[in-house]
Amino acid sequence: MKTALGSSRRFLLGSSRDAAEQIAAGIQDFVGLGRPFLADPSWPEKTELGREDEIVSCINCLHCFETLLQNAWLAKPIECSRNSLLGKETD
């Protein structure tokens, strides 16, 4: 029996190979990304193309959470210490 939902925390450090292997083995149907996707929106594409070494990994610094809370009051976007383009997509 598969786990209905598990933590994606295992993939925080960019272990996309693990995610792909678990999906291929039928252990999981999908992998949800939160912070790893903020750090590198190209995470899925790089994984699919076998370019895992190019993934910019989330370092679990929680700067995004800090700025999410602080910047909301200032109408400023979320920030990521690993992805300087986060929140500036429309600039």
Binders in 29-48 for ligand SF4, by CB under 6 A = 35, 38-39
Cβ 47 vs Cβ 53: under 8 Å:
no
The letter for the amino acid at 47 is T
Q: Which two tokens stand for residue 34?
A: 């939160």
Q: Does 68 bind ligand SF4 (CB under 6 A)?
A: no
Q: How far is CA 30 from CA 61, 70, 72, in A?
A: 25, 32, 31
User: Segment near ligand SF4 (CB under 6 A), from 1-9, 20-28, 41-49, 59-67?
Assistant: 59-67
> Which of 13, 62, 69, 72 forms a contact with ligand SF4 (CB under 6 A)?
62
Interaction between residue 60 and ligand SF4 (CB under 6 A): yes
Cα(74)–Cα(6) distance, rounded to whole angstroms? 34
Interface contacts to ligand SF4, rule CB under 6 A: 35, 38-39, 58-64, 80-82
